[in-house]
Chains A and B, each alone.
Chain A
């Protein structure tokens, strides 16, 4: 294609022009606002250069929420298009772009940062550490993710979005069938944020293995920390596979290689294999931390310790191993023969066993407990039945011969939403409500929260359960329209209504934040839920050094023991604390990465070379930099402790 043609949106529509205007206006508004309120310095000093795990966690959180809305708008448009037969709201090309970006945004740019938000915010607090092992690397991880997300999102107004599905199967995703730069965005944006995920993986594993408070043996770690450890082990194992797959895909598209083409020996199914070798473990990277959050919440609000801690840990480890042995269940229909299908069928079903163990353990945690139905708890008890349905439909899909009928249908779509929404999204909202007071010093409103929960659950059931039926009736997925004669109309309309209710629920979340900022009481102390683990043992707001004195751990729930059994959490004396300095390098480095990615997408080679040099220059500067951090003196600590709600020494 001609150079300038590449930048044009191939299929412009009023919606796209409107969003260009909206994006333009918001950028101007943000810049003007920052200038007017003189907040540039604040933004730079406190956020863009921060290396504090809590602030990085918050930035992940905000980005994830933004992306949730971006993906949500995509979703509502798809459901609207399908709500009636032969609907003309969207044409095929738009529909294809929208389901592709919806999938990518939701998995890579919503769910991933959401779990990273909690990992970053909570894990160091839960293990009694001052920060993660490599604070600056942590900032780089965040900014890489952020730049990847931004790069992906400008595809909407510049050059066209990817349109080959979030699975991006070749040869469809190759230049022969996807001419626009859309799929370049896919390859490069995911590559950049994937690098960030890999670094987070290294960082979190090191933090958890090496930086636990004294007394916290591996088998005394809180469940969320365990789940983070296991999820990050999976990240380090499978993200390199994605890196290679994306590299090969990029080369096919930009350098005309023949990895996945249908000529000169290329092999399309190699992409599918590599993609799912990463892709299936990826869904467990998302669900395991969600399981961890549920474990914390269910235990807290049942006022009881977690039942079957050891089997919880064991089942997670088993799941992580099995999750790497099941990838071919995503293409049972590829013609790999009965024997191979049998193997993958059995390994897939086997995952249901450890998952079942976890479900029963949560049930027994509540057994004889004292259950308080707060908003986080509502999400958790809503999760159990809904996720069970998602899990058993997974087992049904795992019967490979039967999957010849389910595959590529709405039944599959219903299954994975049934696992991801009650599994991951509910967990994120539960975690958000649960940790909100720790993060911001006030509670989210309970009444609005409960409304949100009920609307979301009812909307979810209405939106997705009909898809099980239309799937069994032969409705294929990714179809932008269907004819009257198929008879899918009524159930799809129901889905649309459900999706609308979910949209209202998401809007309520925003309203709840606004409402609570204005009206929630502020003096809630540091332990508003009567919780059990270390993150609640420090002050609210959490001082930058987390704990004035490193806590001493005796069991899985040291804070509970300190409240009930007189366990001494902070036996040592105050001492000066060593903290890392802020740095602008991560932000600058990743901004250059953005330029690098952008010029790669459009094959502007001089700029690629220039930005590559820039990236290495940053690394070299970092290598020569001398920065040994700084110390916080005892007086400063005492002052902070008194300011933040009484010394906990």
Chain B
């Protein structure tokens, strides 16, 4: 494998370049996926049948906590990639670990939120609105859950093999994924929660 030392480690081989490029395209598809969910959400937002509306069930506190957790985690993984570029493996692993812990906390709050919704009569089957709400949030939540496992696998690999072109490449791609989830959350926060509470 030819190494190109003028590039950062994660870009240093041909295959690494392909991987990153391909992942960007995958993120393009993900954007379409969430765009479709959002469009459906806006279409069904007011079709609440006999169930509650968004304004009736949304609560600002857990949502704010979730937002802060996820935004921070996105910042921390940025630090992790920075550490990786500097070759500081230990620091990088710590930052990644903090990222995942924050993600886990986010997930915890989100699960609490879901349980709460079901409790107050806004379950999956209640109305078109609740269905699309929980599906949109759930799709994001599942992405986060998947990310937790993925991130864990990457930490283990970096620990085992050190910072190689391969592990650097994987870590970098994972960070793209994580940032993307953060961006999606910002949209969820603004256009589902804030808009719904207004």
Nearest chain B residue, comparing its CB with the CB of A261:
B128
| Chain A nearest Cβ from B157, distance in angstroms | 7
17 CB-based A-B contacts, threshold 8 Å = A201-B29, A203-B22, A209-B21, A236-B32, A237-B32, A243-B33, A244-B36, A244-B40, A245-B36, A251-B135, A258-B131, A259-B44, A263-B49, A264-B49, A264-B126, A266-B47, A616-B149
Which chain B residues lie closer than 8 Å to A257 at the CB level? 124-125, 131, 135
A245 to B43, CA, bound (A): 14
A255-B32 in contact (CB<8A): no
Nearest chain B residue, comparing its CB with the CB of A202:
B25
How many residue pairs link A and B with beta carbons under 8 A? The number is: 115
Q: Mark B88-115, 1 if CB is under 8 A from A, else 0.
A: 0000000000000000000000000000
A240-B127 in contact (CB<8A): no
- Determine if B3 is an interface residue (Cβ-Cβ < 8 Å): no
| Chain A nearest Cβ from B123, distance in angstroms | 9
Residue from the set B50, B128, B157 with the largest chain A CB neighbour count within 10 Å: B128
Which chain A residues lie closer than 8 Å to B190 at the CB level? none
A265-B49 in contact (CB<8A): yes
A245 to B35, CA, bound (A): 12
With A202-B22, A202-B26, A264-B51 already in contact, the answer to whether A238 and B1 are too (CB < 8 A) is no
Nearest chain B residue, comparing its CB with the CB of A622:
B153
- Determine if A469 is an interface residue (Cβ-Cβ < 8 Å): no
B44-A270 in contact (CB<8A): yes
The 3 closest A-B pairs by CB, nearest first: A265-B47, A264-B49, A265-B128
A237 to B27, CA, bound (A): 11
Size category, A interface: 35 or more
Q: Which of B44, B47, B124 sits near A255, CB closer than 8 Å?
A: B124
Nearest chain B residue, comparing its CB with the CB of A270:
B43
- Determine if A578 is an interface residue (Cβ-Cβ < 8 Å): yes
A136 to B18, CA, bound (A): 13
Q: Mark A191-230, 1 if CB is under 8 A from B, else 0.
A: 0000000100111011001110000000000000000000
Which chain B residues lie closer than 8 Å to A243 at the CB level? 33
- Determine if A47 is an interface residue (Cβ-Cβ < 8 Å): no
A266-B125 in contact (CB<8A): no
- Determine if A359 is an interface residue (Cβ-Cβ < 8 Å): no
| Chain A nearest Cβ from B56, distance in angstroms | 14
Which chain B residues lie closer than 8 Å to A247 at the CB level? 135
A578 to B2, CA, bound (A): 11
Q: Which residues of A contact B (CB under 8 A)?
A: 133-134, 198, 201-203, 205-206, 209-211, 236-241, 243-245, 247-248, 251, 255-259, 261, 263-267, 270, 274, 277, 578, 616, 620, 623-624, 628
Residue from the set B22, B30, B50, B129 with the largest chain A CB neighbour count within 10 Å: B22
Interface contacts beyond A236-B25, A270-B44: sample of 15 additional A-B pairs, CB < 8 Å, sorted by A: A134-B22, A202-B26, A206-B21, A210-B21, A236-B28, A248-B131, A256-B125, A257-B131, A264-B49, A265-B44, A267-B47, A623-B153, A623-B154, A624-B156, A628-B1
Q: Which of B40-61 contact A (CB under 8 A)?
A: 40, 43-44, 47-51
Which chain B residues lie closer than 8 Å to A261 at the CB level? 128
Size category, B interface: 35 or more
A202-B40 in contact (CB<8A): no
Residue from the set A210, A238, A257, A628 with the largest chain B CB neighbour count within 10 Å: A257
| Chain A nearest Cβ from B131, distance in angstroms | 4
Which chain A residues lie closer than 8 Å to B170 at the CB level? 623
A265-B129 in contact (CB<8A): yes
Which chain B residues lie closer than 8 Å to A210 at the CB level? 17-18, 21
Which chain A residues lie closer than 8 Å to B48 at the CB level? 265
- Determine if B132 is an interface residue (Cβ-Cβ < 8 Å): yes
B25-A258 in contact (CB<8A): no
| Chain A nearest Cβ from B156, distance in angstroms | 8
With A133-B22, A270-B43 already in contact, the answer to whether A264 and B29 are too (CB < 8 A) is no
Which chain A residues lie closer than 8 Å to B129 at the CB level? 265
Q: Which of B141-198 contact A (CB under 8 A)?
A: 149-150, 153-154, 156-157, 170
A209 to B157, CA, bound (A): 30
With A202-B25, A210-B18 already in contact, the answer to whether A267 and B43 are too (CB < 8 A) is yes
Which chain A residues lie closer than 8 Å to B51 at the CB level? 264-265
Which chain A residues lie closer than 8 Å to B49 at the CB level? 258, 263-265
Q: Which of B61-107 contact A (CB under 8 A)?
A: none
Nearest chain A residue, comparing its CB with the CB of B37:
A244
| Chain A nearest Cβ from B176, distance in angstroms | 14
A624 to B18, CA, bound (A): 19
A261 to B28, CA, bound (A): 31
Q: Which of B19, B44, B157 sits near A623, CB closer than 8 Å?
A: B157
Which chain A residues lie closer than 8 Å to B43 at the CB level? 267, 270
A236 to B21, CA, bound (A): 14
A258 to B154, CA, bound (A): 39
| Chain B nearest Cβ from A326, distance in angstroms | 17
With A210-B21, A257-B131 already in contact, the answer to whether A248 and B40 are too (CB < 8 A) is yes
A251 to B21, CA, bound (A): 33
| Chain A nearest Cβ from B38, distance in angstroms | 10
A198-B44 in contact (CB<8A): no
A259-B18 in contact (CB<8A): no
Which chain A residues lie closer than 8 Å to B33 at the CB level? 240-241, 243-244
Which chain A residues lie closer than 8 Å to B50 at the CB level? 264
| Chain B nearest Cβ from A275, distance in angstroms | 12
Nearest chain A residue, comparing its CB with the CB of B131:
A257
A133 to B156, CA, bound (A): 26
A439 to B28, CA, bound (A): 34
Nearest chain B residue, comparing its CB with the CB of A269:
B43
Which chain B residues lie closer than 8 Å to A258 at the CB level? 49, 125-128, 131
| Chain B nearest Cβ from A146, distance in angstroms | 21
A240-B17 in contact (CB<8A): no
Which chain A residues lie closer than 8 Å to B47 at the CB level? 265-267
Nearest chain B residue, comparing its CB with the CB of A273:
B43
| Chain A nearest Cβ from B138, distance in angstroms | 10
| Chain B nearest Cβ from A161, distance in angstroms | 27
| Chain A nearest Cβ from B2, distance in angstroms | 9
| Chain A nearest Cβ from B113, distance in angstroms | 18
Nearest chain B residue, comparing its CB with the CB of A266:
B128
A202-B29 in contact (CB<8A): yes
A243 to B32, CA, bound (A): 10
Q: Which of A133, A198, A264, A578 sits near B128, CB closer than 8 Å?
A: A264
With A202-B22, A267-B44 already in contact, the answer to whether A251 and B36 are too (CB < 8 A) is no
Nearest chain B residue, comparing its CB with the CB of A264:
B49
Nearest chain B residue, comparing its CB with the CB of A132:
B18
A5 to B160, CA, bound (A): 52
| Chain A nearest Cβ from B65, distance in angstroms | 28
